[in-house]
Amino acid sequence: MSRTKRGCLFCGIIAGVEPGRIRASRERFTIIDDLYPEYNHTLALPNEHIENASTLTKEDIPLLLQMAESSLDVLRAQYGTALDESQVVMGYHWPPFNSQSHLHLHLLYPTSEFSFLHKLRFLPRSPWFIRHSDLISRLEKSS
């Protein structure tokens, strides 16, 4: 890993010095299970420390797309043909509402089983959560 942040939990998990269940590891990112999953909840973490979604630029789009596709691949491998992709939520918490200061893509499934609080926490187009597709659109339009 070229850039890490001392004391960052996610950098520690990627480096293998903090506990975490790694589901997939790629050259530029790692996919882990959420530390306290209530649903099928994975997190895709860039291997290089990126503070949060607000610091991203157009140049980061390929990384974000790879993280999303690989996260879906992990879910597809688990559920096979039973997977209903319309029940998948993918996105990022927007600062100052992020729980960790290391960019992480949430993938949650199935939305039909979310509690009221989870529906609120991962509400698309809210001030605290941005869907993956909306972030990509925003970055594509930026200069």
Residue numbers annotated as active site: 104
Architecture category of domain 9-128 in CATH: 2-Layer Sandwich (3.30)
pTM of the model: 0.91
Above 90 in pLDDT, residue 35? no
- State the greatest distance between any 2 C-alpha atoms of the chain, in Å, as a whole number: 41
> What is the chain's percent helix, strand, coil content, to nearest 5?
40, 20, 40
Domain borders along the chain are: 9-128
Per-residue pLDDT reduced to its tens digit, 51-99: 999 999 999 999 999 999 999 999 999 999 999 999 999 999 999 888 8
3-class DSSP assignment, residue 79: helix
Virtual torsion, Cα 102, 45, 30, 32, nearest 10 deg: 90
